[in-house]
Structure 1
Amino acid sequence: MGDIALVGIDCAFPGAAGTAAYWDLLMRGGSGTGPVPAQRWEARDFPAVSGRGGFLDDVDVFDSDFFSITPHEAAAMDPHQRLLLPCAWRALEDSGRAPGALAGTETGVFIGMMGGEWGRLTMSDLAQVTPLLGAGSSAGMAANRISYHFNLTGPSLAVDTACSSSLVAVHLAATSLLAGECDTALAGGANIVLSPSMGMVYGQLGLAAQDGRCKPFSADADGIGRSDGVGLVVLRRLDDALADGQRIYAVLRGSAVNQDGRSNGVIAPNRWSQERVLHSAYRRAGITPDRVAFLEAHGTGTVLGDAIECAALGAVHGTAREAPCALGSVKGNLGHTEGAAGIAGLIKTALALHHRIVPASLFADRENPRLRLGERGLRLLKSPMRLPRGESLAAVSSFGMGGTNAHAVLGSAPRRPRRTGPAVAGARTGAARGAVGVFTVSGDTPEALRRNLAVQAEAVARRPRGAAAALCWSSNRVKTGLPHRFAVTVRDTDELVSQLRRAADRDPAASAGRPWGRPVVAFLFTGQGSVFPGMTAGLHRESAAYRRHLAEADEALAAPLGTSVRELVLGGDERVHRPEFAQPALFAVGYALARTLTALGIAPAAVLGHSLGEYAAAVTAGALDLDEAARLVVRRGALTGELPSGGGMIAVATGPEEVAGLLAGEPDTVVAALNGPADTVLSGPRAALARIEEELAGRGVRVRQLPASHAFHSPLTAPAAAKLRTEAVRCAPPAVPVASTRYGRMLHHEPMDADYWADQIEEPVLMDPALRALVSDIAPTHLIEIGPRAQLLQLAARGGRAPGAEFLHPAPGPGATGRDLAETVAALHRCGLDPLWEELYAPEHRVVEPMSPYVFSCAQRYWERRTPLAPARATTPAVAPAGERPPERQEPGAGPAAGRGTGDSGAPAAGRDPGDSGDPGGSGDPGGSGDPVLHAVVRAVTEVGGYPPERVVREARFHEDLGFDSVMIMQLKNRVEARLPHVGEVSVQQMLPALRSVGSLAAFLGDLITARPA
């Protein structure tokens, strides 16, 4: 059997909500057992059943909005399913993978379940049966819901082999991984003690502990105490996990499953079958049993079960050993978690191997002498056992009532080379500064974001002080980008803690609205007047990606230029101001910046280049390849450098119409650029420009001389234009829309050929009309200037041509560093972009650090107490617990299946936006009574989904926001027809196009009513 890496864990057991709490419970020898919660059943009603056991706190809590599940559906779901969904999310995060990143992958889900108690409790009253209860009570849905909501397409199944179910699920997951059916697998199980019925069965069989506690291998053992629990592990093939740099808790070396066959009773254990499954697992693992350091036994604490198991374990492990094999069972701490028993033991064992210490066994101080553990080469641990250096091996057993046995062999994780480099050194020495990174946190609502910011702040505060780049990389990789986002650029953990706490203290109502689509980005490429010695040197020092792309440009320019442009760009060489060097240098910077951004996943929806900037814009758009553009830029620089001196350029703060008269008197002077409504550039002989400047100053018009060596974009450049027109230019239709500053509009079918580039030297730069056309065509949310300093953004701001757009610059001047690039990425991420984060970090920082898991809302509770012998009490589907105010805005639909975090466009979710009156009809009248059709639709939606009417706003989308599926749509159709008899019968096929939102359905139905004859 090939090796399988256990790379992620999440769990909740009695007295231990989370993996860290579970390990703490084990190490301190704690017990999670306690009295039966009144929520379950009244203990006095069932005196034959122990009034104690292991019970999870807040087992009724479920963040249904996050998973786009309606309140009615959530209330109908088996509580096991409600436990498993958030557990799966946290386990995937713990594996170092964002759950959303696995959407669409062949990830498998294997869930162990036992009994189907929820179905018996809910489906026995035939008058109350509904489709939601039918789906909610299916055991197979425990796995299928995870696959559905996370959009996982690998094998998905639930298995019931009684108490061995979850370990059998792990075995099946490993087998599927090795067969190549999936590359990642979630495996585990869940158990909730819903009623006393199984306890009554144990009591009638003589297997129930009087005090509700399992006491495995103890002289005081008197039977089973039942327990809740949920646990999932993330499994991958070991080679894949190592290649992806994932943390490995332990390695599953081999596992086996068998059956007792016909023995002395269908529910009685069979020693010989147990021995066979042990031998089979060790054979598959390729090891001998004497190498196993400790055993996590099934260990229920029943007289017969413990005796048979110890005999089988001793027969296999007790021979040819230098020291006895340590033996334990977590049931002493938790009770018997039944369908989740195997995963509880597996997680305990994996954590012991990870921490290299085995917890002591409860009740070891009163060992049952009848088990003859010492004779059999076994011993209970009265204190924790340190594991020696090197590989350690352990094993887990799980046996099911009915005879299905499972055994798994685990080894410690392979040693990795010690990491070195700036990230580790900084963390180790507490260095104050380090490489820059972007730390990201997100939530499905503003309140969820605030909650998770606070949790991350405290988690980072507990870490050693030092560099934060690796931690930032981890947040980018592990945390799915949900709709409400926080992103901050930092260099060290002190700075990060401060920023997180400050953000967490803000009022959630003040948070920005939900980003409904990805940012629409336009690149604006700066022209020649932006060059200066040492431009982008700070960014070059800190960004490996920028260094790589600048080197590409340098290589392309080297042959036609005859020298390296990189030193001119980065050093203090004043030759950078001469046209023959300034133009290649600026092109190199523009190309490298654009390639750095696109490599980060920032793809422009359109490009605009100002004068020389059009060359890098053309390469980014695909109209020119790099080598062709480099050749043309060098040729252009050389030709303009040969022009006679004496020309210049001035910028005047007025429109061209106000200087038309002055230009008429100076025929050699022309408008060189229209940069804005009141931003005009004039070009011509210096003497003529001086006369114009004096006249305009007298009129109170601001004039500024530009650092131009020649009168560019004027008739004085005609000789250079003529020579460039003779060049043979290889060009292609652009793949990205181009706003041409040559034509002052979007480029249509005109080629960017030699004529284009020749005219572009001589004719004016029509920046203002080109930008106006770009904004009209693509409606950008962000303008990013590509160049060594900010110029075009200032022009756009003064001209007011892009109202509402955010302006960004990855290298805004001489002091620019990697932080400016990171700030650009952070700003776009906050608005819905999911960047390709790898390009932002050096390889030594791309190491996943452990992070606190996502914290779900506990404001929604779902529980209906039912027992076989007592009548059902009322369901309370959504009640906020004491001390927690329900969020003002609960936005449904966080799972990948609902498009959460994917940047899909759409309307606002079901909930209140800031300033929303809460009126679904938009009339200030709750319930949409101002529009009777909308009112009827809102009421039908609330009846089907269980939402309060104020949650069902006009813009709420049925699938993404309200969690409606095909069954609910059919129910909605029937209710709408009943509430709106004038509509008549409407087929689902007719309704489908209108099911975009509550408002679109109401409009469709209103049109139908209007169209029908009175």
Structure 2
Amino acid sequence: PTELAEMLPRQLLMLQVAGQALGDAGLKNDDLLFTGVFVGAGLDLHATNFSFRWSIEKMAPLWAQQLGLDLTPGQMQQWVEQLRAAAGPALTANRTMGALGSIVASRIAKEFRIGGPSFTLSSEENSGLRALEVGVRALQEGSINRALVGAVDMAGDLRAVLGRHAATPYSRQGKARPFDKQADGSIIGEGAAAVVLKRLEDAQQDGDRIYAVIRGAGTAIGGPSGQFVPDRETYTLALQRTFQDSGVSPAEVSYLETEGSGLPELDAMEANALGDFFGAEANDMPCYVGSVKADVGHLGAASGLASLVKTALCLDRQIIPPLRNVDAVRYEWIRGKRDFIVPAAAQYWLRNRAEGPRKAVVSSFAVDGSCSHVLLEASEEKGRQRPSLLQQRPLGPRREALFCLEADDHDGLLAQGRRLKMLLAEFDGDVMEPLAALWLHEAGSQPEKEQCIALVAPDRATLQAEIEQLETVLRSPDELPPGLRDRIFYSVQPLGRDGEIAFIFPGSGNHFAGMGQELSTQWPQIYRQQDASSRYLARQFLPKHFWRPTLADSLHGDHNALVIGQVALGTAVSDLVRSFGVEPQAVSGYSLGESAGLFSLGAWTDRDGMAERLAASSLFVDDLAGDCKAAAKTWKLSSKQRVDWALGLVDAPQQAVRKALEGLDRVYLLIINTYDECVVGGDRGQLDQLVARLGCHLLPLKGVTTVHCDVAKQVAGPYRALHLFPATPPAGVRYYCTALGDSYEVTDQSAADAILNQAIDTVDYTRVVEKLYADGVRLFLEMGPGNSCSRMINGILNGRPHLARAVTYPGQDAVSLLLRLLGQCLAERVPVDLAALYPADRVDTTEASAIKQIFTQVGGTGFDPGAPPEGKPQPGATTAATPAATPAVMGPGQKLPRTELLAGEPLQTPASADPVIARFEQVSRQNLETHAAYLKFSESLSQAITENMTLQMNLLEKMVATGTPVPELAVAVPAAPIQEPAPAVSSQASTPQVQRHRMKLHLPEPQFDREMCMQFAIGSIAKMLGPEFAPVDNHPTRVRLPDEPLMLVDRIMTVEGE
């Protein structure tokens, strides 16, 4: 269809994105009579291409003079036509319509039969958010029931790039680095965004999927004229307007989607304004900072709405995104009573449910001095079922994957390997998770098989190498290449058939930066479940402390944070492992790990209560840590003496340590780790003496309190009360106490006693591990953080069949570690639910069909038609070479070659598989048929009008003949005199003679002639309207008439108003 072929690319893009938004909202086939369309867009520079074509007629004589050409009028006209052909296509009716500013909204309304208001708004970079604001107001006043809000810009046009670069420079590094010390601007971006708005009560009643709730929106405009940097007062005023009617405090906001321009002066203004506004009230929850420009670049008029879409998705998927490309923050983002964090990696959006839904603010400002903000809130409504894949995989498919080969003998395993190799050869891609899901779908899960080889691969090359090593694995696993030894798992005598599983929880001092952060984004459903059962989950995981690139030195002294943070991680990792069907028969903890084990398996459930007790207790503030008052009391120190407590690992057996402790009363044997390693601690001076007597090395430990010795007896009562909770042990699980070196029956009192007893005396970890082994445990899975217990268990059980492996520890990819643990469990024939890892509904078994695509050219080669040879232009000549035929519809895998289209050549647009484009083509064909019918109707109508006019003239003649007075007519005519022909006289005798009277014409003078109209268009408004309007000439933009050749206003007759 011609309309589609001649449509501007930006309008086509907006049409497609709008269709996708309506489809996502389930509105494609709904009645949209009371729906409005509001699109934010700036000037489409493609609409100005015709202006250059028109200017050629004026410019050609000048060019000819500069080139020394002496052309006849005929040659000049030929050359002008040649130049016009090279400059671009001629203006047609469709192209004229397409160049109108509001047509992009009208096309959407027409295509989807939307009956409400439809128009386009422009406010530079704020265009999208201003369109959103108009849509919100229309919904609030009740004039519409839905609003489709969009924004689009193809800001990569060289003209737009140069214009923006002159005002707000782009980055010369080619990276957008908001708030970074190396920031020097943004990068070029293009695109469109669209959202569907409804009143909240309507969306809830209709069961719609709600991404976010708009709680407020505000805009302010200010700053000096001609200044491209909005001032801080305007930015803050817009924030105040956003919050004034929302009922929300700025302290409740936990994410700021900023403008993030990457220009130092703009970043400084924004950082200071946001820091002061959101840091005025205290809140223990940090506020995270982001910017979409670091992800997709500067999208021009669509940038504000793109920020809103990103933030709405983050609220819906409960993910805090990273701010990319930030290596060294220029602004610390610490203002007043609140912490501001620039996240280096994605993380689950933790919150305290008791404090209400998650909230975020989207900010944008434009070169016209306008600033806009939108306050968003997460929806607590379940609504229409969300796609499980997006909820469970918010970051997309995982690159690394687990493959399980199961059989009863070696030949069967090798046959499975050959099948997997064939599947790999047919697989197109390097992300392994889709292939793993397909393999599980084809091979199935067969836990009853005797043997298993599990492969963990991050890419196809590694998987290929692992398959080639299968025979080596079966023959001699020790011969495997070092890089594959912890990726290929096979057990000659699997432990899982008869051996039991124990979940192991480590003690204090194993915390590390980012612990659990990656797992929270890869398996967010675990954290959602915990959020549903905890009112203050964020206070337990403490992301502002632990989910950072590095840990602050002060954190090692915050023992309350270390305790609750480690316990929280243990519960999350335990829940994650159990979600794959791996269940323990025994639970054992090392020091703090005993509490973590009780919470993780549900024997204790009041985690909020533990956090509250810790916050109110002095035990880990200055009794057993900090000033160590319990130690001072035990050692009977004076008020002026201070405790200098230190501890660490020594590579010496307990017998040697006990002997060396003789005569030292302020240093203790705290824990017996293995048969040749212990933890010792106490007064630093006596600790140095002990190490000297042992003649061994001391590895200092941080974050550990004065427990596992007589010192803790000073606070035995409060310590036991802290750990006294209602207990409901899970069925089929044995709990072990390190103080007893044995399992015990868990009750309210026995659990509190077990925790207290291990705190006031030396812990012998070897004894409890030996007991676990004697009771049948062969697989020791450490829930983390760290792998300290796995290391000790391997030392204690050295030489005996067992598996000790940790789920998460520093320095390794968290997803890879979990997959390797599951893979090793499979190899040991522990039942693992791989369907939970790769559900069947995510497997695409259909063959990919060739999807037709329509391509439209954006931009082109420079205008360089050349001069006529020897001063004589060649008729019909063109300077552009005719390109080879290139199909506009291309199949998958084909690349679009670079083409040079002849100017004026129509764009051939075949049918498209895109549903929006296909629908548009259908409507266009229907329009053509309708238009043909209209032309036929118009022809008959013209004939009827002619006959009617003849009848009226006959009646007029009869009136004159009978003496009936005829009224005089006053008509406005051009100022130039009119040469009228002499009155015609009828030659028919039967027709009365009619005397033709000249009509009296009143010719009032125009208030503004064409010269004044041109002043309004391209000149001074003061010259037209008077000196009182002179200030308007200083505005950077104002309402104007168009310049030539679109200037169709010849005069203005009257103006009314003040």
TM-score (norm 2): 0.37
Higher relative contact order (CA 8 A, sep 6+): 1
